[in-house]
Structure 1
Amino acid sequence: MTGTDMQNGRRLAAWAALMAAVLAIVNIVLTLVALGGDTALLFDPARMLALPTRMIDLYRTAMVLDSFSYYLPMLPIGAYLWARLRGDGGPAVDAAILALVIYVIMGIAGTSIQIVTLPLLAAAHGSADPVIRAGSEAAWRVTVEIAQHALWWMEGPTFAFWAIVTGAAMQTQGLRFGRFLMAMGAAYALYFITALLWPGTLAELAELVAVLPVPVWLLLLGIDLWQGRTQ
């Protein structure tokens, strides 16, 4: 890869990281507003499907922003770091980028099924027929469980592998924020284990510890790449 290609890749990664950081913060805010600050609402189908249309649309918007913050921008970021690190990083860095791609696919699958099914099931839930209402509630519970407790849960090991391997390579090769990335990977792994062994409040806390630092890392990395410190 030529120096010009690397420079263009660095700029793209910088833009992606900065955009993702901003959208991630907006996504978190919109999600909390749509759910009234009560994330448990997602797992209460009767209440979730009875939300006003504007709140349902707000949650769907948050899921779109989730795709364009925590997931899709990771591809140019990961690709640049892979190209930058693979010379000395070896096969582990190659395997890590594949893990990142799997993470992105699972993440977008989780957001997409919620975006598509929520308005349809909310409309069905407005029916006067109790059978239809019960069916829509059961369908939403299955949907949100698959998205958040299957697809997003399995993000834990895939993101952890990418983050720990890539962060270690960044640290070894003198790039900034490698330790931060490794810490994020450890937090994702901890969430995965906690949700498996102790589902509930403890797992929810572990999830927050895992996901909330991501926008900070994206912002720091984006600024660093834009200023050309991480070459």
Structure 2
Amino acid sequence: MGPIKFPYRHQYFPRNGLGRDIVVGDIHGEFAALESALQAIRFNESHDRLFALGDLVDRGPDSMEAVQWLKKPWFHSVLGNHEAHHLVCHNHKTLPGESQRFFISGDDLWIWDVAESEYALLAESLTRLPIAITVETALGDVGMVHADLPEGFATWKAFTDHLDYGQLDSELLYQALWNFKQTAHSTTGESRGPSTIPDLTALFQGHSVPAAFKPLSVGNRHWIETGAFLRRTIRRGGFTLVDIASPTAPLLSAY
């Protein structure tokens, strides 16, 4: 057993001069439904890029498809708490301090039907996911993190500089991957944290599903996880896809 090494804690992507940059909320194994959503927006694999907000696995039927999707040159994702769970509980790794206690899941029974060698490929792919992504746009940088911008960072640059050069600790990982504390109130839209990140055009967050199953924006922060996996149980929710050039005008909302 040894600590997880994150070779890409933070990834920066230069401006896409050929096509669109699309961001989607948590996928949770619903890759077939995601394919349909991409067809609906006429996603062009030659020119467009797709960024996911983590939680690629668990709950849906096709978690292992994450391995193939992460090989696609146009698909990128941040690390989610479900990926951290798999790295901790099934890949015999540890997280700094006591943070592994936060990453407990009951959504992973599917792994018992997967060959150990195949699961090892998934774990290797998940280890390479960054905690944060920054994408350059014509209007400025756009940030992406699974759950939240951790407290104590007044700017996105301060956070990503810490990821690049500082030491990871349990509280930072908890807030970035699991935190609900600063999430905007799902009905009133009242922000529990700073509503505007001053050095970003937009910050996209997943993890939390608003009560109305619709994307929620407060200041320049955008919560777009609308529960694609819930379609199978309560027939609500779906994928929200947003062109990062127009953060408040989703191409699809809970599709």
Q: Which structure shows the bigger proportion of residues in strand conformation? A: 2
Higher helix fraction (1 or 2): 1
Q: TM-score, normalised by structure 1?
A: 0.31
Instruction: Flag the structure with more relative contact order, 1 or 2, with Cα contacts below 8 A and sequence separation at least 6.
Output: 1
TM-score (ref. length: structure 2) = 0.29
